[in-house]
Structure 1
Amino acid sequence: MDKPQPLSQTREQITTIDNDILSLLAKRRDLSLEVARSKEVDVRPVRDTQREKELLARLVQKGREQGLDPHFVVQLYQSIIEDSVLNQQAYLHGRANPETQKQQYCVAYLGARGSYSFLAANRYCQRRQVEMIDLGCQNFDEIVQAVESGHADYGFLPIENTSSGSINEVYDVLQHTSLAIVGETTIEVGHCLLGKAEAQSGKIHTIYAHPQPISQCSRYLARHPGIRLEYCASSAEAMEKVQLSDDPGVAAIGSAEGGALYQLEALEQGLANQKVNQSRFIVVSRKAVDVPEQLPAKCTLIMATGQKPGALVEALLVLKANNLNMSKLESRPIPGTPWEEMFYLDIDANLNSAPMQTALKELERITRFVKVLGCYPSESVKPTQLSNHQLLIEPDTLKQQQQQADTETEPKRHSRAFKQLTSPLQVKHLCLDGSQRAALVQFALPQTTTGLDNLAKELKSSGVQGIIFDGAGRHTDTATRLAAAARVLDQFQLVTIVAIEQEAQLSQLAPFADILLLRGNQMFNQDLLEQAGRLNTPLILERNSMASLEEWLASADVILGAGNQQLLLCDAGVSAFHHQAGGTLDLASLVELKEVSHLPVLVNPSYAVAPEALSRQVHAIVKLGADGLVLDLDTLPQALVRQMAAQIHN
């Protein structure tokens, strides 16, 4: 056996290769800007998805010849393509707005250097290759005032987070300013426990943090109930307090990058509830900007619909009639007018496009108030995907089924063309017939039934009709636990629903359930869908957070085609960003679902909506025609769950 070369020599070779890779990536980026200059002349769209697919397919094949995994190649080049797209967009947007082209921007943001707002602003300026003069502010009002007064060119406002949801204070500020939204950016939020070099994570007794990171790291903090929390105005303030303290038992929650500015080290990483945690920021300025037609654009507007039945649905149908996609819907109370709300909408369209102009005129006619807050380039770059066949992992049988589906001319089984009236569902005391709504509550299957009877009684009195037991298949004594729990629920006329997370659990748990809930992570599992379709047990199909409406309904058709017609759909949120595991409620899809499908639809807002906004969102869910609500008792306070369960019946 040949003796390997010295480790130091191998590492030097790797370093040389890494330097070459970086040099080539920089050259590739320069060439992508040449592409942007060409597109500026020819007025062609920034993205050519067909070319991207051809590029990925060629690279996958080339990589396979050199022993590289296809998924690795696709993931790598998706990031490279995203960087290229965003740089081309920044160039073309700057060319269309020459008055914004400066050597430096003064940017107002929340906190001080090292805060997440600072990192977002810095990234925005770096992509545009301008120097940033930073202006740290104490609150959102101060940011807006700095821009309104001319002390800052731009203001950065965090608008939503994939873990904690929308930031309501920012929406409230937007109601009362004349500033225009001119851009957006999204950053990864890697929450770390930051302390001094001599600190030990096991000896931390006090944590300084902004309320948003505290909310986003609630599960980590719940595992350390002895640690005292100190709220700060920003993550930067939290890190500064730790830096100035002589106590090694204090720490802050913030980013490793920001902590380095305060000589702090990451004692623990990955504190956020979700593995992928991102924050989206909007950029506000005194003057609106023009968005070239070849750039993907987003419009944000606010409207008040008035207090008449179906007013919100009527407004949303205007968007559908003009083929406009609504990517976000948020409601906030109107000060001084109790029980009335202002709605914020993000629409994927250019303000100057004919469909958007037509929709605005119609909305002006049917609403009490409507105002465009801004039109700006969208930085949500949806990654180009290759099919399983192109990755050479698609089974021949699945390919044949897809080809057969592509040539199918009969109405889809989920569609109103197949069945005009909404399909009723009757399970024990739970009845969904289009005139009633269901309230379901989910929580982890308890170890014993001690206290379950009292909880069941309280939930029943609030209008809850069924309990979803989560994680049932993870225990060795599942059968005993489920049987005992089901007997308790039956005493209170509550339906027993069991969540299925793996294919093997289907036959194991079905005998103990009145209804089976197929989790979203199994939505693409063809074998599981067909097996479930052959059961006589009613089913709930949860939407995968990365699935389109069409993919969700296609999975439903697999179940219906196998024979089981007792099917409910459940939407627990879709990804707001392309790397996200779960994010915002897709209320636009709810409207479309009720129009195109006869299947009853449940909505689970537990993961996508902050607790303080839940009441307003449930109000919107009911108004949009949902057939029921699912609430997670493990993540929401019991009093709030009972309140929302009662609200859906009112």
Structure 2
Amino acid sequence: MSKPQALNQTREQITALDKDLLALLAKRRNLSLDVARSKEVDIRPIRDTQREKELLARLVKEGRDHGLDAHYIISLYQSIIEDSVLNQQAYLQGRANPDSQKQQYCIAYLGARGSYSYLAASRYCDRRQVDMQDLGCKSFDEIVEAVESGHADYGFLPIENTSSGSINEVYDVLQHTSLAIVGETTIEVGHCLLAKNGSTVKEIKTVFAHPQPISQCSRYLSSHPEFKLEYCSSSAEAMDRVMESDDSSVAAIGSAEGGALYQLEAIQNDLANQKINQSRFIVVARKAIAVPEQLPAKTTLIMATGQKPGALVEALLVLKAHNLNMSKLESRPIPGTPWEEMFYLDLDANLSGSEMQSALKELERITRFIKVLGCYPCETVNPTQLSNSQLMIEPDTSRVQNSSDNLNKQASSNHLRSGKEHKQDASQISCGQLQIGEGQFGALALISLPQESERFNQKAKSLKEAGFQAVILEGLSRQQKAEHNILAFKKSLYQFGLECIISVEHEVELKLAAEHGTLLLITGKQMQNHSLLKQVGSLHMPVILERNTMASVEEYIAAAEVILSQGNQQLILCESGIRTFSDSVKPALDLAALVEIKGLSHLPILVNPSYASTPTTLMAHSIAAKQLTADGLVLNFSSSDETFEAELQLRGEILRKLYL
């Protein structure tokens, strides 16, 4: 065996290669701007997804010849493609708005240097290769005032977080400003416990943090009840207080990048409740901008529909009629008018488009108030994906393809059992205390297993008192002594008049679920499992079929047809959200699909906002679902006993509001 070369020599070679790679990446980025210049002349869309797929497929094949893993190549080039797309968008946006182009911008943001708002603003300027003169502010109102008065060119406002949801204070500020939204940016939020060099977690007694990080790291903080929490106006203030303190027992929650500015080190990483934790910021300015037609655009507007039955539905149907996708719906109370709300909508559309203009004219006629807050480039870059066959993970796809073809043939049939041509009157499914459809609204609680049977009885009583009629038990495979405990859970539910619904997440669970449940829930992951659907279709019990997050409405209806074709007509549909750009991001509740399915099918349909909603958006999503004539609602509860009471209070409030 030959002796390997010296470690220092190997590291020098790696350093030289890294230098070459950086030079090549810079060269590639410059070439991508040449592509943008060409698209400016030809007026072609920024993205060519077919070209991207061909590129990735070729690179995967060539990389395999060099011994490189396909997923490594795809991950690397997805980042490169995203960078290329955003740089091209920034270039074309600047060309379309020459009056706003400067070499230096004054940016107003929350907190001081090192805060997440500061990091978002600096990255936004870096993308556009302009200098940033930063102006730290103590509140959202101060940011808006700085821009309105001309002291700042742009203001950065955090609008939502994937963990803690929407930031209501920002929505309230937007109601009263004349500023326009001119951009957005999303950053990864990596919460760390920051302390002075040499400190350990065991020494920490006091933690300084902004309320948002505290909410986003609630699970970690609850595991350290010894920590005393001190609220700060920003993460930067929290880090500054630790830096200025002579006490080694204090720490702050912030980013490692920001902590470095305050000579603090991360003594604990990944504190957030969710593995993927992102914050979206909007950029506001005194003057609105024009968005080139080849750029993906968002238009944000606010409207008040008035207090009359179906007013929100009527407005949303206008959007559907004009084929406008609503990617966000948020409601906030109108000051001075009790029980009335202002709705905020994000539409995936360019304000200058003909469909958008026509929709606005119609909305102006049916709303009490409507205002466009801004049109701006969308900075969400959907990652290009390759099929399993292209990745050579599953070369034999014939079985999956044949199953998919069979489902599509079912959907394209002239006679659909789920369609209104088959049955004009809306169907109603009745099971004990639970009635869904034909004007009957059902409230279902989704309980994650495992659960302790001793405490489950009290939970069942509380759920009944809150207004639920049934409980879905999810996570059968996680429950120890599943059959024994399911019998105990079922007994508790029946004691309080609650129906027992068992979720089938794996085909092997069907037998146990069918024996002990009064209803079954087939999860979205099993929606394309033709074998399972046929078995369920042969049962004589009500079935809830959840839509897969990647399935179209046509594919969903096709799956329902498989169940109906086997004889079981006691079928309920369930909309739980769809993936809009990647599996790593929270799904979006597809309320447009709810309206579409209600128009196509006589089957009752539930809405489960659990996966797409946050605690701050759950109420708005639930109200919207009810107003869009959903036949019931599924509200989730975690397996944790500690959070049950807080979750019950919010969900009980939702049901009380829906039943008023």
Picking from 386, 410, 414, the partner of 2:413 is: 410
Q: Give the aligned CA root-mean-square deviation in angstroms.
A: 2.6
Query: Is the partner of 1:648 in helix, strand or coil?
Result: helix
Output aligned runs, 1:192-211, within 5 Å: 192-211=192-211
Change (3 A) 1:405 1:490: closer
Picking from 644, 649, 653, the partner of 1:643 is: 653
Cα deviation for residue 531 of structure 1 reads 5.4
Cα deviation for residue 341 of structure 1 reads 1.0
1:315 maps to 315
2:467 maps to 463
Check whether the contact 1:463–1:649 (CA below 8 A) recurs between aligned residues.
no
Cα deviation for residue 153 of structure 1 reads 0.2
Comparing 241-250 and 161-170, the one that deviates more? 241-250
CA distance, structure 2, for counterparts of residue 632 and residue 548 of structure 1: 24
1:487 maps to 491
Comparing 503-512 and 279-288, the one that deviates more? 503-512
Change (3 A) 1:7 1:540: farther
How many residue pairs match? The answer is 650
Query: Is the partner of 2:383 in helix, strand or coil?
Result: coil
Name the amino acid aligned to 1:398.
Answer: V
Change (3 A) 1:177 1:109: same
1:331 maps to 331
CA distance, structure 2, for counterparts of residue 596 and residue 225 of structure 1: 53
Check whether the contact 1:445–1:472 (CA below 8 A) recurs between aligned residues.
yes
Output aligned runs, 1:549-588, within 5 Å: 549=553, 552-553=556-557, 555-556=559-560, 559-560=563-564, 564-574=568-578, 578=582, 580-588=584-592
Cα deviation for residue 528 of structure 1 reads 5.3
Check whether the contact 2:166–2:616 (CA below 8 A) recurs between aligned residues.
no
Structure 2 spans left out of the alignment, 5+ residues: none
1:437 maps to 441
Cα deviation for residue 371 of structure 1 reads 1.0
CA distance, structure 2, for counterparts of residue 164 and residue 545 of structure 1: 22
Check whether the contact 2:450–2:475 (CA below 8 A) recurs between aligned residues.
no
Encode CA deviations 1:350-375: one digit per residue, 9 max, x unaligned: 11111111111111111111111111
CA distance, structure 2, for counterparts of residue 164 and residue 525 of structure 1: 34
Cα deviation for residue 91 of structure 1 reads 0.1
Encode CA deviations 1:540-561: one digit per residue, 9 max, x unaligned: 3444556555555555555556
Cα deviation for residue 576 of structure 1 reads 6.6
CA distance, structure 2, for counterparts of residue 125 and residue 579 of structure 1: 28
Check whether the contact 1:304–1:367 (CA below 8 A) recurs between aligned residues.
yes
CA distance, structure 1, for counterparts of residue 310 and residue 89 of structure 2: 39
Cα deviation for residue 174 of structure 1 reads 0.5
Cα deviation for residue 596 of structure 1 reads 3.2
2:384 maps to 384
CA distance, structure 2, for counterparts of residue 426 and residue 117 of structure 1: 51
Check whether the contact 1:545–1:581 (CA below 8 A) recurs between aligned residues.
no
Output aligned runs, 1:240-255, within 5 Å: 240-255=240-255
Do residues 96 (structure 1) and 96 (structure 2) align? yes
Name the amino acid aligned to 1:333.
Answer: P
Output aligned runs, 1:152-551, within 5 Å: 152-392=152-392, 393=394, 395-403=397-405, 409-411=412-414, 415-416=419-420, 420-445=424-449, 447-523=451-527, 532=536, 535-545=539-549, 549=553
Change (3 A) 1:25 1:612: closer
Change (3 A) 1:94 1:247: same
Query: Is the partner of 2:659 in helix, strand or coil?
Result: coil
Name the amino acid aligned to 2:468.
Answer: V
Check whether the contact 2:450–2:479 (CA below 8 A) recurs between aligned residues.
no
CA distance, structure 2, for counterparts of residue 527 and residue 227 of structure 1: 52
Encode CA deviations 1:329-365: one digit per residue, 9 max, x unaligned: 1111111111111111111111111111111111111
Name the amino acid aligned to 2:413.
Answer: E
Name the amino acid aligned to 1:644.
Answer: I
Change (3 A) 1:454 1:286: same
Check whether the contact 2:164–2:616 (CA below 8 A) recurs between aligned residues.
no
Could you tell me the percent identity over the aligned residues? 63
Cα deviation for residue 261 of structure 1 reads 1.0
Name the amino acid aligned to 2:21.
Answer: I
Change (3 A) 1:204 1:44: same
Name the amino acid aligned to 1:473.
Answer: S
Change (3 A) 1:57 1:448: closer
Cα deviation for residue 420 of structure 1 reads 4.4
Change (3 A) 1:416 1:369: same
Comparing 221-230 and 414-423, the one that deviates more? 414-423
Name the amino acid aligned to 1:643.
Answer: E
Check whether the contact 1:148–1:286 (CA below 8 A) recurs between aligned residues.
yes
Comparing 344-353 and 388-397, the one that deviates more? 388-397
Query: Is the partner of 2:272 in helix, strand or coil?
Result: coil
2:609 maps to 605
Encode CA deviations 1:141-198: one digit per residue, 9 max, x unaligned: 0000000000000001111111111111111111100000101111111111212222
Output aligned runs, 1:124-163, within 5 Å: 124-163=124-163
Do residues 589 (structure 1) and 599 (structure 2) align? no
Check whether the contact 1:543–1:552 (CA below 8 A) recurs between aligned residues.
yes
Cα deviation for residue 306 of structure 1 reads 1.2
CA distance, structure 1, for counterparts of residue 480 and residue 193 of structure 2: 35
Name the amino acid aligned to 1:472.
Answer: L
Cα deviation for residue 316 of structure 1 reads 0.9
Check whether the contact 1:143–1:156 (CA below 8 A) recurs between aligned residues.
yes
Encode CA deviations 1:513-533: one digit per residue, 9 max, x unaligned: 223334445556666556555
Change (3 A) 1:122 1:167: same
CA distance, structure 1, for counterparts of residue 409 and residue 501 of structure 2: 37
CA distance, structure 2, for counterparts of residue 421 and residue 73 of structure 1: 53
CA distance, structure 2, for counterparts of residue 500 and residue 248 of structure 1: 51
Check whether the contact 2:332–2:343 (CA below 8 A) recurs between aligned residues.
yes
CA distance, structure 1, for counterparts of residue 326 and residue 59 of structure 2: 34
Change (3 A) 1:351 1:27: same
Name the amino acid aligned to 1:337.
Answer: T
Cα deviation for residue 18 of structure 1 reads 3.0
Comparing 404-413 and 639-648, the one that deviates more? 404-413
1:86 maps to 86
Check whether the contact 1:165–1:584 (CA below 8 A) recurs between aligned residues.
no
Comparing 511-520 and 152-161, the one that deviates more? 511-520
Comparing 598-607 and 525-534, the one that deviates more? 525-534
Change (3 A) 1:557 1:257: farther
Change (3 A) 1:206 1:68: same
Cα deviation for residue 227 of structure 1 reads 1.9
Change (3 A) 1:535 1:485: same
Name the amino acid aligned to 1:330.
Answer: E
Cα deviation for residue 443 of structure 1 reads 2.8
CA distance, structure 2, for counterparts of residue 81 and residue 418 of structure 1: 48
